[in-house]
Structure 1
Amino acid sequence: MLRQASLFEKAPAVKISPDFRKRLSLLSQDSRFDLAGSCAKDPLGQGRKRGPLGRWLYPVVLPNGRRMTLFRTLLSNQCFSDCAYCPLRQERDFLRLSLRPEEIADAFMSLWRRKIVHGLFLSSAIFAHPDKVMEEFITVARILREKEGFGGYIHLKVVPGASEAAIETAAKFANALSLNVETSSPERLAQLSQAKKFEKIWQGMNQLKKLKERFLFSQTTQFIVGAAGETDAEIILQTERLYRQLKLNRVYFSAYQPGLGKQDLPGEFLARQNNFLLREHRLYQVDFLLRKYGFSAREIPLKNGFLPLEKDPKELWAESHPEFFPVNINKASYKELLRVPGIGPTIARRILEARKESYLKNISVLFPNKKLFQKALPYIVT
């Protein structure tokens, strides 16, 4: 922790007590249980790091594709909820701590002024009535906006069960609001929690959709993958529904961490537990297919309701649809190009722009690396 502490020691205007330093350190570490895998650099999750300066920092890719480093912590790890997948659930006996809104705001500004972080991601265990938790979130955001004049990125979690008034107030201050759906259906959520209700979560997400018409913020959510024994097919169908009906900006996935929760999984799912991170990675690939590539949920290749782990789902689709290939790069539409393995939105746009100038014979120069070009080569012709 010495390196983390030095960040604040270099900002003498902010007085950091040993007690606060300890609480911030522990609560920031506890926030790792809510780590979405979008920051992973490889399918096994070996790139899951909170940045070079420790767990207070969290590299993310935003719904618009922008990359930034966020200061991330929990407001409190004291929880009155019963979520079976969560190590912070009420029944567990460990040191419970909280931070005051003013402390979080001061710590964030210290890092932001030194250009170490770009924005704030604030979450919490449910330590009080949902509106009380939201009130403290809002207080942090209000201090940053109105007192400190911070105009950058703030992401606030929305607590399930929060009132419409509390959610609307949060929308006035945040760039992003997330209410986590956790599972694919009411039945699955009931396996994990008696306190949380799927219908209430869905109502809150509907409210966020309406608020986006008045306030400028992105709306996201997250699934806990594997905790309730759900299939990938269930998650994929619900993800498509979230994008189409609620117009979410982004859906995230967080692999269940066996041994941290109390959930007893059926044997067939326990046998897959070592692959939860790879399963999460495959779901992110499917998310891109749904969100960016024009695929529908019914087109995603599955085996017994699960994504095959050995290969990219886009490659599997291509292998099972030989009638679609080869694609002529001089005639194909943008959507047709996106169906080619190795070709994403950026390369597809490069191809469309390049062929305005001349007939394309060699497009290898349009690819950022040979690996992607070799992946596409069997599926294209000039």
Structure 2
Amino acid sequence: MLRQASLFEKAPAIKIKPDFRERLSLLSRDSRFDLAGSCAKDALGQGRKRGPLGRWLYPVVLPNGRRMTLFRTLLSNQCYSDCAYCPLRQERDFPRLSLKPEEIAEAFISLWRRKIVHGLFLSSAIFAHPDQVMEKFIAVARILREKEGFGGYIHLKVIPGASEAAIEAAAKLANALSLNIEASAPKRLACLSRTKKFEKIWQGLSQIKKLKENFSFSQTTQFIVGAAGETDAEIIWQTEKLYRQLKLNRVYFSAYQPGLGREDLPGEHLARQNNFFLREHRLYQVDFLLRKYGFSAREIPLKDGFLPLEKDPKELWAESNPQFFPVDVNRASYRELLRVPGIGPTIARRILEARKEGRLKDISSFFPNNKLFRKAFPYIKT
């Protein structure tokens, strides 16, 4: 184990020592600042729910499409890092506290046995050398796997700067590992933090990718949308690069929450004319186009580097490419069907399967609702 550098020794000390229930409630609450995926609505006070002992439970959609409820908490909210967008950053003065690996494992297994949660998502502020934080994560996972016999879902965050050995130890126990890229480029990350380096995070993501050759787990990352003043184009191009070069299972987006960061952060000023939550929503739609629908980054319709917020990007692409339509549902390939607004993978597969029985004349029954059918109708023919 590497000795802690002086930087880590400056991390805020624990100021209070509340009992276990209070610490668990506070740290679970603080985990709400790290939102992603189907939890995007959480920042608006929706989607989350309080569980027993005040713990926060999160409904999520995994990279494979599976839905489950996770017990999510921080190991600690003590932090040496200076991330300008994060309310837990070092410069802020508020109660700092931690949980022991044994305490987290006990709390989780109690909820799991009562079928309140399906899995664990464990993260932390950076309170020590990255390998020491990872060591605590690994201890929780090891207790659950080896002592409690838990064979379900465990998602562990990878701390920026963690060694290859520490990441490998986590990979042996986890179903998912995530290392947050946070920004779209080195200059953007420099706006958010003086201590985190974009090249180092990319190196860590590459190390995780390499481990997938020998271990079975999914790899994800996350952008903070709006905090550094980046354009949507920057995020989209970097997202495509992550999928193509590092073969990530999923990229997530978390809208910056104005008022939580430093006053000099670009996102604080942009918030007046930007709807970060709607930008996040549009980026998720683009993510599906890149990941599931066969689109490339250069095909995504943009205006001055940003996604138009008034309409779904797939609809905008369709409006901008009239030569592609109408699509003949009796002849079109799977990829061609996916280009039609209102048609996703499930409906496209239904159409292909039904074509085996004969020519299709009416496909309205393949749609789960009339809204989607009305969206697709102008772009198809039978």
Partner of 1:299: 299
The residue correspondences of 1:106-125 to structure 2 (distance < 5 A) are 106-125=106-125
The residue correspondences of 1:102-141 to structure 2 (distance < 5 A) are 102-141=102-141
Q: Deviations over 1:51-78 (max 9, x none)?
A: 3636521110000000000000000000
In 2, distance between residues paired with 1:268 and 1:150?
46
Which shifted more, 341-350 or 46-55?
Answer: 46-55
Partner of 2:49: 51
Q: Deviations over 1:196-247 (max 9, x none)?
A: 0111100110010010010000000000000000000000000000000000
In 2, distance between residues paired with 1:108 and 1:270?
37
Contact 1:192-1:228 at 8 Å conserved across structures: yes
Q: Does 1:269 align with 2:304?
A: no
Partner of 2:75: 75
Letter in 1 for 2:19: D
Superposition deviation, residue 185 in structure 1: 0.5
The residue correspondences of 1:186-225 to structure 2 (distance < 5 A) are 186-225=186-225
SS in 1 for 2:356: helix
Partner of 1:93: 93
Q: Does 1:162 align with 2:167?
A: no
In 2, distance between residues paired with 1:90 and 1:186?
22
SS in 2 for 1:173: coil
Letter in 2 for 1:366: F
In 1, distance between residues paired with 2:267 and 2:80?
27
Superposition deviation, residue 47 in structure 1: 7.2
SS in 2 for 1:228: coil
In 2, distance between residues paired with 1:224 and 1:18?
32
Q: Deviations over 1:271-293 (max 9, x none)?
A: 334x1101000000000000000
Q: Which runs of 5+ in 1 are unaligned?
A: 1-16
Superposition deviation, residue 270 in structure 1: 3.1
In 2, distance between residues paired with 1:378 and 1:268?
41
In 2, distance between residues paired with 1:46 and 1:126?
26
Q: Which runs of 5+ in 2 are unaligned?
A: 1-16
In 2, distance between residues paired with 1:38 and 1:108?
21
Q: Deviations over 1:320-360 (max 9, x none)?
A: 10000000000000000000000000000000000110110
Letter in 2 for 1:92: R
Contact 1:233-1:302 at 8 Å conserved across structures: yes
Going from structure 1 to structure 2, the CA distance change for 1:362 and 1:302 (only over 3 Å counts) comes to same
Going from structure 1 to structure 2, the CA distance change for 1:37 and 1:176 (only over 3 Å counts) comes to closer
Superposition deviation, residue 248 in structure 1: 0.1
In 2, distance between residues paired with 1:265 and 1:176?
32
In 1, distance between residues paired with 2:173 and 2:267?
43
In 1, distance between residues paired with 2:142 and 2:269?
48
Contact 1:38-1:284 at 8 Å conserved across structures: no
Superposition deviation, residue 50 in structure 1: 1.8
In 1, distance between residues paired with 2:279 and 2:139?
38
Going from structure 1 to structure 2, the CA distance change for 1:342 and 1:32 (only over 3 Å counts) comes to same
Contact 1:338-1:344 at 8 Å conserved across structures: yes
Going from structure 1 to structure 2, the CA distance change for 1:267 and 1:134 (only over 3 Å counts) comes to closer
Q: Deviations over 1:234-270 (max 9, x none)?
A: 0000000000000000000000001000043278723
- Aligned residue pairs, count: 363
In 2, distance between residues paired with 1:256 and 1:106?
33
Which shifted more, 260-269 or 150-159?
Answer: 260-269
Partner of 1:7: none
Contact 2:179-2:221 at 8 Å conserved across structures: yes
Going from structure 1 to structure 2, the CA distance change for 1:51 and 1:268 (only over 3 Å counts) comes to closer
The residue correspondences of 1:1-382 to structure 2 (distance < 5 A) are 19-40=19-40, 48-51=46-49, 53=51, 56-262=56-262, 263-265=264-266, 269-273=270-274, 275-382=275-382
Contact 1:39-1:47 at 8 Å conserved across structures: no
Superposition deviation, residue 192 in structure 1: 0.9
User: Deviating runs (4+, > 4 A) in structure 1?
Assistant: 44-47
Question: How large is the RMSD of aligned CA atoms in angstroms?
Answer: 1.6
Identity score, percent: 82
SS in 2 for 1:94: coil
Contact 2:38-2:59 at 8 Å conserved across structures: no
Superposition deviation, residue 143 in structure 1: 0.2
